[in-house]
């Protein structure tokens, strides 16, 4: 003769709570709001009533309604994450790849831009180097690539070379250098602007080299410079250090020359010509 084992609460066979609780609409809305606060589902809390009304009109099943509210939560959470990633990148101003005037960038074919926008080079840890005179779209392209990467969920940080070196020097003085270098090393993409704009003293150059080395062949750096590689020695002072930096930033790199024709000067000339004809 066998004896049955009593079902524990939460196991099949238990009847500790009914499968469905009959609630009035106001009580149900209150219960949904309370549960969503506990579960951190702000979109479900905000949209459940509206989606329920739409589901009733469309005669959706309960499962279809549940799919709708959960999908709305996932979509909104993804949007908030993209926004947060862009804010965390600390771009100085909004710039998007789709706003680039490719007619002014003959060395950047649309297919190449589309490939870069996809971000496979970031996953591979490849560098991107943008070379050209001031006003030729380097920073726009740099921020645009960073924004696309951040919106895809990657950890991105934009910083000018001078600002990064200053941060590293302060960290070294405060005995926090390893932590700061580690923070930059963990980024998916480091957007380094204005490389070659300012002269770096030996200490600053060596500290910058530590960040570059920490990311070598593992995590991508996209940098923009108005100086050709042959002139980087003027920035890093030590020719051997300059050569090492060039070596690390060009290995497997996507190198794009943005040219010498400044769009700002061109826009100024066009404005003046337009004013002269009126």
Architecture of domain 90-268: 3-Layer(aba) Sandwich (3.40)
For range 70-98, the mean pLDDT: 89
Average pLDDT over residues 69-86: 85
Question: Which pLDDT value is given to residue 172?
Answer: 96
pTM reported for the whole predicted model = 0.75
* Pairwise CA distance, residues 93 & 24, whole Å: 50
Q: What is the pLDDT of residues 208-263, one digit of tens each?
A: 999 999 998 789 999 999 988 888 888 887 888 889 999 999 999 999 999 877 76
Which pLDDT value is given to residue 42?
Answer: 87
Q: Domain extents for the chain?
A: 25-83, 90-268
Q: What is the pLDDT of residue 273?
A: 58
pLDDT at residue number 98: 92
């Amino acid at each position: 003769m066998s004896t049955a084992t009593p079902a524990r609460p939460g196991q099949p066979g238990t009847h500790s709570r009914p499968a469905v609780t009959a609630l009035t609409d106001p009580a149900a809305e209150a219960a949904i709001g309370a549960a969503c606060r506990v579960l951190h589902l702000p979109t479900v809390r905000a949209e459940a009533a509206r989606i329920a009304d739409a589901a009733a009109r469309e005669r959706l099943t309960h499962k279809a309604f549940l799919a709708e509210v959960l999908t709305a939560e996932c979509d909104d959470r993804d949007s908030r994450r993209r926004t947060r990633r862009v804010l965390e990148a600390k771009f100085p101003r909004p710039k998007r790849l789709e706003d680039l005037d490719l007619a002014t960038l003959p060395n950047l074919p649309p297919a190449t831009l589309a490939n870069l926008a996809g971000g496979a080079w970031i996953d591979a840890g490849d560098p991107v180097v943008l070379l050209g005179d001031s006003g030729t779209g380097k920073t726009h392209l740099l921020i645009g690539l960073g924004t696309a990467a951040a919106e895809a969920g990657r950890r991105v940080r934009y910083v000018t070379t001078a600002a990064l070196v200053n941060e590293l020097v302060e960290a070294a003085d405060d005995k926090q250098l390893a932590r700061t270098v580690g923070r930059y090393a963990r980024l998916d993409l480091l957007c380094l602007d204005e490389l070659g704009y300012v002269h770096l003293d030996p200490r600053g150059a060596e500290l910058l080299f530590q960040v570059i080395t920490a990311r070598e062949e593992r995590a991508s750096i996209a940098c923009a410079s108005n100086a050709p590689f042959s002139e980087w020695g003027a920035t890093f002072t030590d020719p051997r250090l300059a050569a090492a930096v060039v070596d690390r930033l060009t290995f497997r790199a996507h190198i794009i020359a943005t040219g010498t024709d400044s769009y700002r000067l061109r826009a100024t000339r066009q404005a003046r010509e337009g004013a002269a004809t009126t």
